[in-house]
Each structure stands twice: as structure tokens, then as C-alpha cells.
Amino acid sequence: MLSEVVWVLESAYGYDKEAIISALERLLSTHEVEVEDADVALAALHDYRRSAAGFTDCLIGHRNAAHGCGETGSFDKRAKGVAGFKML
């Protein structure tokens, strides 16, 4: 769901990265919405904030790590330098 939220905010509403981060922080902190693996989503949000990588890539990387994967392969150069990613 979070990846879809980011996609809609970017493509339909033209939100910039800071506005998306703010929206995700509010969404993750509300009691009315329960997010699966919220700790993983928060870690992904942290990497998204500090890197050029997209939120979905950060989320995939952290979900993979939570399931025991040592590295996540990516062709996206924006993920270079994000912990846990290996460029393919």
C-alpha cells in the first residue's frame, strides 16, 4: 500500500520528496491505519530521506533484509550507496 501511496502522491499530485516524507510520517504514526511491518517501513523511510533511492526500492531492500537476505540486487543507480543494495 505504501508504494502505491508514494506513486499517487508523485504522479497524480506532483508532491516533492519532502512532502511525500511528511505524508508517510503522518500515515505511519496514525492509530487509524495499521501498516504491516511498520518498523521496516520506518527504516525504509529513513533511507529514502537520506539517499537518492526511491521509497519503493528502500522498502524492498528493508523487507528483504528482514527476511534474511544479505543483499538486494538493483539496476537503479539511485540505490547505489544504500546499505544492503548491490548494483547489477
pTM over 0.85: yes
Q: What is the pLDDT of residue 16?
A: 98
List Cα–Cα distances, 73 to 4, 11, 14, in angstroms: 21, 25, 29
Mean pLDDT of 24-28: 96
Task: Please check whether residue 2 is in contact with residue 36, taking contact to mean a CB–CB distance below 8 angstroms.
Answer: no
In 1-88, the DSSP E strands lie at 72-74, 85-87
Q: What is the mean pLDDT of residues 47-70?
A: 96
Overall average pLDDT of the 20-49 stretch: 95
For the chain, give the mean pLDDT: 95
Q: What is the DSSP string of 43-63?
A: HHHHHHHHSSS-HHHHHHHHH
- The whole-number pLDDT of residue 44 equals 97
| pLDDT tier at 50, thresholds 50, 70, 90 | very high
